[in-house]
Structure 1
């Protein structure tokens, strides 16, 4: 019996592969990466050509997933179930991309979760700047000794096992804001290592201002500023700066290098809806900042059609939408989708695909009576091609990743809510 199944399996996979275009036409090659940018294998992957049936696709010997679109077809889909080691917990995390070959023929899918890492440790001396406290940051982790003071030791800082990693030591004042920042750049990480940071007056931060702005009527306005090194280590708005629509200030990190960025976001929100503008500003040109908002909010009363496979209206009136992004789920069972404007064309609705019959996709359906949270974002500026293309990334959240590229602007409108599955 085992021999029969072993012989039948390759034929079955070949049939599924042929159903997605055979070996002629436009080749689409998919790679899956974790937080660290390391290629990894998901639990399962499926693809779609045009509006055809979804089909399971196995990886090749290099861990890539390739299929062909028939001649004349540009629209396709990729669905991934992230492995439990990559996801936020042992529950399911799925990603669906709906793209065109004009968006990308080599899309990357990003699954939240860690890859290979090592531990860093060391000592911090911030006594020269009279620090009340300090913390050391890696690309996806931070460490301190847990007690206030200008000196101390840290350990168990997780750093990706990759070349060109940056570490950042931040000295903080009594209010928790940064007063000095020291960066160790281009650390080639292969084994556990020690980094000692002595913070001096030359590491003291400067300051800039953020102008006041007027949010839409009935909305509250906010701003935030983060700092990210060229190696991908970011320190957040709690250290660099945030405030409301009346304006305020932010910290400027000394000794910036090419590729360092400030993430400046202007937000207006009311309840479960809002609009924002995110600017990636090169550190070498940073100065005083002026907020701005371009997109209008979603229409009042927006809601998906409640179902085990929800139907999301994708009809924001802004004329230059480049893609829609959304997620839905309950607990730690998350499902995300990204639909490019080219794939959507003139359609106004998107129905979450039924993948439950495919290998590795069972058990992902929502359950009757379950309370499900959801969010939809309409985006402009950054394109779908930017989101899935090559280059370093910034993880804005465990659910959303963007390219780390100076000069980019992401305008967005979002709305969120919940429903009970019928």
Structure 2
């Protein structure tokens, strides 16, 4: 077994808003892209308890509902993700095994999926930035354009124009932001604009110097999270603070060889320094080579050492092989006292047959234990981030959070 960097394994964490309830209640799952647009799964299935999987069909755009019958309090739901662009030849799946107490209504996100229309803001010499970044650097951000360098398109010596490829999702109140630096001074500005598919330009954005900063106790990778944009602030222990708006979050990620900590702090609650110390966790899972035609069993699911304020909430388990990847979340409530877990097999349902490696495939596995200061049903919760720090882009977009994690990985050859 080898330890893993948490980047890929944590990409399992998908968005939902939780509920709880007695047996016999309906479970509703909405499959969305990064901008909350509903998308249709290629195929889906569910089961109650340890019963057989049944095909699950949408009841509306991205809407999937099923009932956990009386006497059961646990369910599993599986989605084969639709294909997008270069992913057309890939098989991707996301799945969850949870109790009714952990969640009865949530949003699931397919990794990398974005299905909504965009507008290309390609006016020449648009002067969108109210600040000229000649002598420094400036970048523009939207939900789907991450750090496009500002240019001098008019030959007037002013670096304040959006590049022609800059794109913004269509819709009302789309966020466009400018961030940059001249000398030692940072600059920031943003606007909420209404965007149609035919929009090619927007009014100038007022950009002002950033007058405050904050520090962390350990080096981190820091991001500013606005309404839709995600702006990297750099790596280190000192960062500019573009705003103190309570609706904005500052994302601080500290990764060790196998452990990690993610903090999201509201702008109006960002102290200095922010405690970003890594936890001291223990986790040694293993995955024996399964028998021919079978999916694997994860063993040693006994992570420990989480802070009392961020207790263990579940395990993220993943398989990948040539042309396929599968990400599965099992809640601690669903796992109970068990320390081993057989990955559920939905391949008897039409459309999900490919969710099993074939003989000779080299299979990589990953397991990540998660502790957090929020209920699982809240973290699996609302609008995710369109383009984020893998693996955290799929977390509840507007939720302050202190998350601790430890992961491990390995491989085997499918018999």
1:252 Cα deviation from its structure 2 partner? 1.2
Shift of 1:276: 1.7
Counterpart pick for 1:284 among 251, 268, 271: 268
| In 2: Cα distance, 1:315 partner to 1:346 partner | 9
1:161 and 2:153 correspond: no
- How does 1:369-408 map onto structure 2 within 5 Å? 369-381=360-372, 382-389=374-381, 391-394=382-385, 395-397=388-390, 401-408=394-401
> Alpha-carbon deviation of 1:399?
7.8
Is the CA contact 1:259–1:406 (under 8 Å) kept in the aligned structure 2?
no
Q: 1:87 & 1:98 partners in 2: Cα distance?
A: 29
Deviates more, 1:312-321 or 1:111-120: 312-321
Q: How many Å separate the matches in 2 of 1:108 and 1:196?
A: 34
In the TM superposition, residue 401 of structure 1 has moved relative to its aligned partner by 1.3
Q: Tell me which residue corresponds to 1:260.
A: 248
The residue number in structure 1 matching 2:403 is 410
Q: Return closer, same or farther for 1:385/1:127 CA change in 2, 3 Å cut-off.
A: closer
Q: CA deviation at 1:368?
A: 2.5
Give the match for residue 229 of structure 2. Answer: 233
SS of equivalent residue, structure 1 residue 163: strand
CA distance in 2, matches of 1:340, 1:87: 32
Aligned partners of 1:110, 1:51: CA distance in 2, in Å?
A: 24
Matching of residues 11-410 of structure 1 within 5 Å: 25-61=24-60, 63-85=62-84, 88-112=87-111, 113-121=113-121, 122-125=126-129, 128=132, 130-142=134-146, 143-144=148-149, 150-172=159-181, 179-185=186-192, 187-193=193-199, 194-195=201-202, 197=204, 200=207, 202-204=208-210, 206-212=212-218, 222-229=219-226, 231-236=227-232, 240-243=233-236, 248-254=237-243, 256-269=244-257, 274-288=258-272, 289-299=274-284, 302-307=285-290, 309-313=295-299, 314-318=301-305, 320-381=311-372, 382-389=374-381, 391-394=382-385, 395-397=388-390, 401-410=394-403
Larger relative contact order (CA 8 Å, sep ≥ 6):
2
Structure 1: gaps spanning 5 or more residues: 1-23, 213-221
What is the deviation of 1:66? 1.8
Once the two structures are TM-superposed, the CA of residue 84 in structure 1 deviates from its matched residue by: 1.0
What root-mean-square deviation, in Å, do the aligned CA atoms of Structure 1 and Structure 2 show? 2.8
Instruction: Give the C-alpha shift of residue 380 in structure 1.
Output: 1.1
Q: Deviations over 1:153-175 (max 9, x none)?
A: 4233332333332111122458x
3-state SS, counterpart of residue 315 of structure 1: coil
The aligned residue for residue 6 of structure 1 is none
TM, length-normalised to structure 1: 0.79
Cα distance, 1:354 vs. partner? 1.9
Per-residue CA distance 1:129-148 (angstroms, 9 max, x = gap)? 54433221111323336799
Summarize deviations over 1:108-145 as a string: whole Å, max 9, x none.
Answer: 22113112122242444576454433221111323336
The structure whose residues are more often strand, as a share, is 1
Gaps of at least 5 residues in structure 2 are 1-22
> SS at the partner of 1:386?
helix
Aligned residues of 1:226 and 1:264 also touching (Cα < 8 A): yes
TM-score, normalised via structure 2 length: 0.80
Secondary structure class of the residue paired with 1:155:
coil
What whole-Å deviation, never above 9, does each CA across 1:305-326 have from its counterpart, x for those lacking one? Answer: 2335122222213463111112
CA distance in 2, matches of 1:86, 1:345: 40
* Displacement of 1:72: 2.4
Question: Quick one: structure 1 residues 141 and 419, their matched pair in 2 at CA, closer, same or farther if it must change by over 3 Å?
Answer: farther
SS at 2:103's partner residue? coil
CA displacement at 1:70 relative to structure 2: 1.4
Q: Deviations over 1:251-301 (max 9, x none)?
A: 2114x43310001122322xxxx21221111112323223223341423xx
Decide whether the 8 Å contact of 1:178 with 1:251 is kept in 2: no
